[in-house]
Amino acid sequence: MPLQSKLAKLANSASGSAALAAAVSNFPTQPLPKDTFPVAGNDPDVAYQLVHDQLLLDGNSRQNLATFCQTWVEPQVHKLMDECLDKNMVDRDEYPQMAEIEARCVRMLANLWRSPDSSRSVGCSTIGSSEAAILSGVAMKLRWQRKREMQRRPRGRPNLICGPVHVCWQKFAKFFGVELRQVPCEGNRLLMSAEEVLKRCDENTIGVVPTLGLTYTLKYEPVEAIATALDDLEEQQGLNIPLHIDAASGGFVAPFIHPDLRWDFRIPRVKSINTSGHKFGLSPLGCGWIIWRAARFA
């Protein structure tokens, strides 16, 4: 019903002009400030409508064919999220059941990714795969630092090897003082290969990150071939370089449609895996996961 019709109907109702005056008074006489706090508050319905109308300028997520993220969830998911809006998930003492549900998800993912003992695997939820990947990078750097200290050797500058895909690795390298050695796409090679990885490895390499589901093609980088090459490198030069799998896209795909593909914790050199729940995990934004093979790697 048009606004004019609504107002006319209201004016002719039993409440008459008093009701109309109350309705009109809800609307602000001045536009909402954009840089400072307003002097007075607004009616909740008015505040909602103003923000709602501004968000109409956004694109329609259901029509965003370029997104990797979930754009529809069941009404029950909305209901559960509404019921938990006031809970601080970090406060595990106050909300132990929410923490237990998260722990269940960690064990389920560790089992899905073939952990030798999912009860000993550790991990947590994050706001997305970028945060999860960065946490894995921090763990790799700290393990490398402790190892250098035990060997009484200078730390030098650590480096990380990955393909030219997830921008989060560039952020990790910048903010945590790590040299990023990205393997570029060259000619017909669109994936990071074992040969290219070996060219970039040295004693300061904290880890290698194959991507399971490249952004451009959704292809899997050859995790098992890279692991085998690193096994040979360790045997020849004594360099024990771990693998972290960036499974932001493939972590919820490969176990179901390519169950025989060896990319996960079945490979001993794989110490951690991250994924996005809000991509192919069918959960709302933002949800990511990081799982370590065992607590000593976290």
Lowest mean pLDDT: which of 6-15, 61-70, 150-159, 229-238?
A: 6-15
Residue 171, pLDDT above cutoff 90: yes
pLDDT digits (tens, 9 = 90+) for 248-285: 999 999 999 999 999 999 999 999 999 999 998 889 88
pLDDT of residue 153: 87
Residue 170, pLDDT above cutoff 60: yes
pLDDT of residue 87: 92
Residue 7, pLDDT above cutoff 70: no
Read off φ and ψ for residue 20, nearest 5 degrees.
-65, -40
Overall pTM > 0.85: yes
Instruction: Pick 261 or 53 by higher pLDDT.
Output: 261
Residue of 172, 169, 222, 230 whose CA lies nearest to 199 = 230
pLDDT of residue 8: 59
pLDDT digits (tens, 9 = 90+) for 198-230: 999 999 999 999 999 988 888 999 999 999 999
pLDDT of residue 174: 95
pLDDT of residue 26: 58
pLDDT of residue 2: 53
Domain 83-297 matching CATH 3.40.640.10: the answer reads yes
pLDDT digits (tens, 9 = 90+) for 59-107: 888 888 878 888 888 999 999 999 999 999 889 999 999 999 999 999 9
C-alpha distances in Å from residue 282, one per residue of 71, 113, 138, 294: 9, 17, 27, 26
Rg (CA), the chain: 26
Helix or strand or coil: residue 5? helix
Cα–Cα distance for residue pair 213/229, rounded to 1 Å:
21
Residue 29, pLDDT above cutoff 80: no
CATH 3.40.640.10 positions along the chain are 83-297
Average confidence (pLDDT) over 156-167: 89
Residue 160 sits at the vertex; the CA angle it makes with 227 and 204, to the nearest 5 degrees, is 90
pLDDT of residue 45: 87
pLDDT of residue 4: 54
Count the Cβ atoms, other than its own, within 10 Å of residue 10. Answer: 17
